[in-house]
Structure 1
Amino acid sequence: MATIMYKVKPADPDDPGFAVAFGRTRHRLPMDFDRIPVPGIVHIILKLLNLQDLGIAEKLAWEYAFKFDGVNCSLAHQKFGLRLYVDSSQMPSVEDAENLRESLTKFLESAQRSLERRQLRQFADEQIRQGRMTIRNQYRQLRDVYEYFQEGASLAFAGQGRMLSELPNGGRRFGVDTTEGFYNTVAMVSAYFSMLEHTLVLLLPFRGFDPSEAALKDFIGSRWGNKFRQVFAVDTDSSAKKHFDALYRIAEEYRNTYGHGGFDRHGSSFLFHMQHVGALPAVLSDIREKPYFSFMPLDLDDFSQVKDALDAVDEWITTDVAPLAMRWVQSGMDVYYDEGFRAVAESALESSETFDSFMSYSSSIVDQDANMDW
């Protein structure tokens, strides 16, 4: 690391830094987030250079003072990002300070690539294997996508969609409402399963998951059905089996078919040739049960049935089978998989009051870290 960062040298022992030092003239420059996206990586690099961490302060997580090409500088992780401070008494020109930032950024880019390739990648894999990791909670965003297309389908079937009857180059579309409703329903189903899979991953620490018995990466990479079966007792719980079967049917008819180029595994889009007869569907008379049989693959009744089935799954998970865990998921807070979090979460699930206290405390810690209120 010292070889890559050879222009970076320790600051004087009594250097107070710049971020919270009063009366010290300096240039304050933001570091490029696209090039240095993870302040924690910079933290490790500077620590490996045996530079002194000046500690935390209000709205400040850490600051390292150093000399770069002989100029007093510091890097500070503050509330609104990573900031470079350059001593303006040594370097009065803003342009020169910006050039120094560019040079330092190139050094840091090289150092972070080396660190990730040689050390962090293997370490990260081991941490993940042991469940010492965090999953960013994207439930609300994924739910918004699902609800957006659901509303689009509802409006379209009600004749309030945005698709025009007139074509741009002349002519008219037929069945505009049904066509637009179909488009939105297919997108709605795809969005729902994306949200469902994310939710199942977030529920794991609250459902007895143990990373020593099952790899989290394998679970995340598995199909939605396998995830559902591992989180809920499909084989022994009749309600779980009922909702699983409903989801399976919807996935087969709409998600899998239109997510794989319009082909389903039953071959209902295939036609075989017979002399003197013509082309016949590969699934023969069973095609009436496939979405290809109708002029438009889906109508208002189909949409309503799909929506009702998905609503029922949501209600079952949120109200019956995992009501407390879903409070956490819906709160937007990230989820942790380490032994400590899982143990506390299991204890908190004993009552609604205990779980509310657990969430309140966790939320306060998250807010404190985000705002750097130490």
Structure 2
Amino acid sequence: MRGWREGLEDDLPVPALVLFLLNRVLGYRQLDPGDKGRWAVGCSVAGEPVAFRDRKFGFEILVAPGSTLEQKRILFPLKAALRVLEEELLVPEANEQIHDCRVAVINRFGEFSHRYQYFRTKADELFAQAEIRPSDRKGMEGLPSISAVTAEMNRAAVAEREAFFLSAAMVDAYYSLLEHRLILLRAFTGKPMAAGDFEKLLGANWEGKLVMVLDLNSKGREGKELLGELRRIKERIRNPFAHGGVENDRGSIYVQLGSFGAVPANFSRARNSIRFNFRPIVAEDHAAMCGVFDRLDAFLETDDLSLPHRFLDSSVDPAFDAGMLTEYTTAIKDGGEAVDEWIDRWSREWERHQNADY
């Protein structure tokens, strides 16, 4: 048989929908998918046999060797049918499952963590390079030459400016990492979820998600201080750079005081603005923020969250339905060895699916 594989991911990005349409809705029977095959289903188009097959090496459409069918003759009606199927049946079903927490989320903790670490490491390197170094070039009376001093100051200024860019990106990456991490941990703690709770989890801001997983206020003075520092970084650093320079306390807005000039609308509170200093983030600010993030990471990886975090670190994709939450809870109650055994079984099943070893 001949067929097509290249470019089908644009027209049919979710092969399982094709199987659902042809097999479950239209009643076409499934075929032997062959080696490294997940599934195959046959139908007819314009009186000619056509097969669809999803394999480890990609999704493909197959026709008979002498077939005159063009790809578009197969794709156009199929895509039109899928649009109707999604709008009329699948969207309402998806909404119901989401409301009932019968959903799963892809674990991208490694990706979010690596992005954060990338910006942090690069910022560390450039802030170190931003220190003024003594010059060996001498001018009159044995003093460093003016040109050498100027060049060194310019070099350090460029390094500090680029470090500021990277540090701001680090902060943004960390809060994105934090929200994703908290969504995963909410599942892996195994706490039961009522209808609508998953939607509330996704709709909550970072602090709301944090309360669902870890109440820092219950951690005494250290926890309360850490929460305050996280809020300050969010308000002072992350929000202005993530939201077009807008500061929540109106520090980015200027009002006119008659002939006395324009002043920031947060008045004396401008001292807290990210723009109060010439360079918004300097080495000391960067180091302090890294310390805050490290302290929160420690809370999220220890004590009652150490075993739930083991699921997360192992790249397990969490499910939020009652049955899976119970499985997480049971494994955690049985201890670290039980959690490792559960993760090992899940990993083997995941690999089997990825390799289409059925």
TM-score per shorter chain, which class?
0.7 to 0.9
Q: Which amino acid aligns with 1:346?
A: T
CA contact (8 A) 1:28 1:83 kept: yes
Deviations 1:83-112 (A, max 9, x none): 222121x43xxxx35x1x321111111111
Preserved contact between residue 232 and residue 240 of structure 1 (Cα < 8 Å): no
Residues 1:214 and 1:46: Cα distance change in structure 2 (over 3 Å): closer
In 1, Cα distance between the equivalents of 2:254 and 2:43? 72
Instruction: Give, as a single letter, the amino acid of the residue that structure 1 aligns with 2:21.
Output: I
Residue 48 of structure 2 is matched in structure 1 by 71
Structure 1 stretches of 5 or more lacking a match?
1-25, 162-171
After superposition, the C-alpha distances for 1:17-65 in whole angstroms (9 at most, x for unaligned) are xxxxxxxxx1142161111011111011111221111255531222112
Residues 121 and 307 of structure 1, relative CA distance in 2, 3 Å threshold: same
Q: Percent of pairs identical after alignment? A: 28
The residue correspondences of 1:102-141 to structure 2 (distance < 5 A) are 102-141=72-111
- Partner SS state of residue 10, structure 2: coil
Structure 2 matches for 1:346-365, cutoff 5 A? 346-350=329-333, 351-365=335-349
The equivalent position to 1:260 in structure 2, one of 239, 243, 256, is: 243
Distance in 2 between residues matched to 1:135 and 1:281, nearest whole Å: 43
Question: In 2, distance between residues paired with 1:271 and 1:69?
Answer: 69
- Name the structure 2 match of 1:51: 28
Q: 1:155/1:286 Cα in 2 relative to 1: closer, same or farther (>3 Å)?
A: same
Matching residue within 20, 30, 37 for 2:5: 30
Q: Deviations over 1:102-154 (max 9, x none)?
A: 21111111111000000000001111111211111111111121111112211
* Higher fraction of helix: 2
Correspondence for 1:230: 212
Q: Counterpart of 1:338 in structure 2: which amino acid? A: D
Matched, 1:241 2:211: no
Q: Which moves more between the two structures, 69-78 or 193-202?
A: 69-78
TM-superposition CA deviations, 1:53-81 (whole Å, max 9, x none): 12555312221122222222211121122
Matched, 1:316 2:299: yes
Aligned to 2:113: 143
Higher mean C-alpha deviation, range 364-373 or range 325-334 = 325-334
Equivalent residue number for residue 312 of structure 2? 329
For 1:284 and 1:321, how far apart are their aligned partners in 2? 44
What CA RMSD, in Å, does the superposition of the two structures yield over aligned residues?
2.2
Q: Distance in 2 between matches of 1:270 and 1:27?
A: 65
In structure 1, what is the Cα distance between the partners aligned to 2:35 and 2:11? 26
- Residue 66 of structure 1 aligns to a residue whose secondary structure is strand
d(CA) in 1 for partners of 2:45 and 2:248?
Answer: 62
Single out whichever of 270-279 and 355-364 deviates more from structure 2: 270-279
**What letter is aligned with 1:227?**
K
1 CA distance for matches of 2:103 and 2:195?
A: 16
2:126 and 2:95 map into 1 onto residues whose CA distance is: 47
Residue 299 of structure 1, aligned match among 268, 277, 282: 282
For residues 106 and 36 of structure 2, what CA distance do their matches in structure 1 show? 23
Q: Residue in 2 aligned with 1:280?
A: 263
1:60 aligns with 2:30: no
1:300, distance to aligned residue in structure 2 (A): 0.4
TM-score (normalizing by structure 2): 0.86
CA distance 1:357–1:160, shift in 2 (3 Å): farther
Alignment partner, residue 207 of structure 1: 189
Does structure 2 conserve the Cα–Cα contact (< 8 Å) formed by 1:55 and 1:61? Answer: no
Code of the aligned partner of 2:4: L
Question: Could you tell me how far apart the structure 2 residues matched to 1:84 and 1:43 are?
Answer: 12
Helix, strand or coil for the counterpart of 1:34? Answer: helix
TM-score normalised according to structure 1 size: 0.83
Separation in 2, partners of 1:111, 1:209: 40
Partner of 1:18: none
- Extract structure 1 runs of 4+ deviating beyond 4 A: none
Q: How far apart in 2 are the matches of 1:321 and 1:185? A: 31
Over 3 Å counting, the alpha-carbon distance change for 1:286 and 1:68 in structure 2 is closer
Distance 2:193 2:99 in 1: 7
Which residue does 2:57 correspond to in 1? 80
* 2:141 aligned partner: none
Tell me which moved more, 187-196 or 331-340.
331-340
**2:168 matches 1:186:** yes
Q: Pick which of 257-266 and 297-306 moved more.
A: 257-266
**Closer, same or farther: CA 271–174 of 1 in aligned 2, 3 Å:** farther
Instruction: Answer with 183-192 or 231-240: which moved more.
Output: 231-240
Aligned equivalent of 2:233 = 250
Equivalent-residue separation in structure 2 for 1:286 and 1:72 (angstroms): 73
Q: Secondary structure at the match of 2:40?
A: strand
- Equivalenced residue count is 332
Distance across 2 between alignment mates of 1:225 and 1:157? 30
For the pair 1:269 / 2:260, whether they are aligned, the reply is no
